[in-house]
Amino acid sequence: MTSAPALGSASDVGDLPTSELLTHGRTALDWIARYLDHPERVSVLSQVVPGEIRQMLPVSPPEQPEPLGDILRDFETQIVPGITHWNHPGFFGYFATSSSVPGILGELLVAALDVKAMLWRTSPAATELEQVTTDWLRQMLGLPGGWFGFLNDTASISSMLALAAAREAKPELDIRARGMAGRADLPRLRVYTSRHAHSSIDKAALALGIGLENVVHVDVDDEFRMRPDALAAAIADDSANGFLPLACVATVGTTSTTSIDPVPAIAEICRRESIWLHVDGAYGGVAAIVPEMRHVLAGVDHADSLVVNPHKWLFTPFDCSAFFTTKPHLLEQAFSLVHEYLVTPERESVVDFMNYGVQLGRRFRALKLWMVIRGFGTAGLAARIRAHCALARQFADWVHADPDWEVVAPVPFSLVCFRFAPSGIHEEVLNDLNAKILERVNATGEVFLSHTKLDDRYVLRLAVGNIRTEEKHVRRAWETLKEQSITVSP
């Protein structure tokens, strides 16, 4: 990036002139366009060693202002080498995500407005667009009318709010006011989720003071789905022990394998036992916008809450996690706290989203989501998710056809779990081999994958989800895997 003339002295006040924004904003846009058009110029997984970036940077901040041109140049030379490129079409790790042109423009405008969507008054459009876009998303997902939606930063927070609401669903516990410690009248509270649930469910339980030991990790079937019979048995056991079953978290698209818990059967149990049912569809839930995949959210209409992340598989820049509930009054009951400085004349006739969660300050996330939905259209978004699932099936077919490799879990979405498993090699050796393949594949910088463990087997994961991923990128991943498998073969 080009350098700019030095700015005024640090004794000036006010913002930098907007001419600087225009000049360097255009430079940044040009850089972004080149970056998105020529991903092969960067290594997907950063190849730096720990401390390498830090070493390049001054230990103390500059006293005097530095030209934006210098800062953008350093961004390119000192920061970008340390970036792992989530926005690269060869990124197949964790859940692959991406921002997109409409989403990037949305964030640019959000940064310029810099509003806090905490009260209706602090930007009516932020609140009302959040209502509109979450209702659009509700319709796209096929949820019934009457579901109330809002946007959080992460599914970690969304799921924590769900469990906090579950406490309020039992008002006799009076946890909001009295807390949980030092009370003889409270039983142990229990939360149920599968052995394959996301770590954020455990984190929510520990943050809320429920305790890790009170998260019951229910057994799964041979396709890694929660077993309703095991859930029912766990609840019965706990009830017999005097514990209080509080909430259940079912997952639509688990992190390790994207398995889908049987929500209809789980919902029936939760209804019978008066347990809050939260559905974690952070990754998989959005697939319901594809008409032929609508079934992945079957039964969710009987749940109490749901989280889906537009920042995961809906091409919306991080962060944007959509939380839906049929019981917003319980969220409000859990979290509303209006000090005088936040009282507004219109508060009885509007929604003030600060009342539904922990955070007072809230980003204007709806703008980018609105731009993404309009920029692609619902059919366009569905086409992209459909294409990703097809790419994953294509990859699974290649793996399946190769006798030295195996697909180790069903592929209901866009993730393939697989491993190198030539016959006659001991399981423990296979684990080492696959770990080595992963490191070597990632070291090429052409693609990036991550791993998990399934029943002690080290398993590779290829997750398709970046909007710019095409068949050639998936094919390159497969070629690279095969190449590297040869280098490690015993």
Residue 129 interacts with its own copies (CB under 8 A): yes or no: yes
Between residue 341 and residue 380, which ones bind its own copies under the rule CB under 8 A? 341-342, 345-346, 349-350, 358-361, 363, 367-368, 370-371, 373-380
Residue 15 interacts with its own copies (CB under 8 A): yes or no: yes
Residue 87 near residue 43 (C-beta atoms within 8 A): no
What are 92's two structure tokens?
């197949």
**With contacts defined by CB under 8 A, how many residues of the chain interact with its own copies?**
185
Query: Closer to its own copies at the Cβ: 271 or 358?
Result: 358
Q: How far apart are CB 74 and its own copies at their closest, in Å?
A: 8
Residue 462 interacts with its own copies (CB under 8 A): yes or no: no
Q: How far apart are CB 162 and its own copies at their closest, in Å?
A: 12
Q: How far apart are CB 19 and its own copies at their closest, in Å?
A: 8
Task: Report phi then psi at 361, rounded to 5.
Answer: -70, 135
Residue 321 near residue 365 (C-beta atoms within 8 A): no
Residue 480 interacts with its own copies (CB under 8 A): yes or no: no
Residue 86 interacts with its own copies (CB under 8 A): yes or no: yes
Q: How far apart are CA 180 and CA 170, in angstroms?
A: 13
The residue from 6, 77, 109, 443 that contacts its own copies (CB under 8 A) is: 109
Cα torsion for 93, 95, 96, 102, to the nearest 10°?
-160
| Parallel, antiparallel or unpaired: strands 415-420 and 450-454 | unpaired
C-alpha angle 435/437/442, rounded to 5°?
100
Residue 332 interacts with its own copies (CB under 8 A): yes or no: no
| Parallel, antiparallel or unpaired: strands 457-463 and 305-308 | unpaired
Residue 84 interacts with its own copies (CB under 8 A): yes or no: yes
Between residue 232 and residue 271, which ones bind its own copies under the rule CB under 8 A? 243-244, 255-256
Residue 142 interacts with its own copies (CB under 8 A): yes or no: no
Residue 207 interacts with its own copies (CB under 8 A): yes or no: yes
Residue 443 interacts with its own copies (CB under 8 A): yes or no: no
Residue 274 interacts with its own copies (CB under 8 A): yes or no: no
Q: 454 - beta bridge partners?
A: 457
The residue from 6, 233, 236, 383 that contacts its own copies (CB under 8 A) is: 383
Helices and strands (H, E) in the chain, number of each type? 15, 11
The residue from 73, 125, 332, 445 that contacts its own copies (CB under 8 A) is: 125
Residue 145 interacts with its own copies (CB under 8 A): yes or no: no
Between residue 405 and residue 434, which ones bind its own copies under the rule CB under 8 A? none
C-alpha angle 83/86/89, rounded to 5°?
120
Between residue 22 and residue 51, which ones bind its own copies under the rule CB under 8 A? 22, 24-26, 28-33, 35-37, 45-46, 48, 50-51
Taking the CA atoms of 162, 167, 171 and 175 in sequence, report the sign of the dihedral they define: negative
The residue from 281, 317, 328, 465 that contacts its own copies (CB under 8 A) is: 317
Candidates 115-123, 260-268, 403-411, 422-430 — which segment interacts with its own copies by CB under 8 A?
A: 115-123
The residue from 468, 475, 476, 482 that contacts its own copies (CB under 8 A) is: 468
Residue 339 interacts with its own copies (CB under 8 A): yes or no: yes
Q: How far apart are CA 399 and CA 434, in angstroms?
A: 14
Query: Closer to its own copies at the Cβ: 252 or 334?
Result: 334
Q: How far apart are CB 403 and its own copies at their closest, in Å?
A: 27
The DSSP element (H or E) to which 74 belongs, if any, is helix 68-74
Q: How far apart are CA 198 and CA 30, in angstroms?
A: 38
N-to-C CA span, the chain: 47
The CA-atom distances, in angstroms, between 412 and each of 225, 285, 292, 298, 375 are 12, 12, 12, 14, 27
Residue 278 interacts with its own copies (CB under 8 A): yes or no: no
- CB atoms under 10 Å from CB of 2, counted, come to 9
Residue 188 interacts with its own copies (CB under 8 A): yes or no: yes
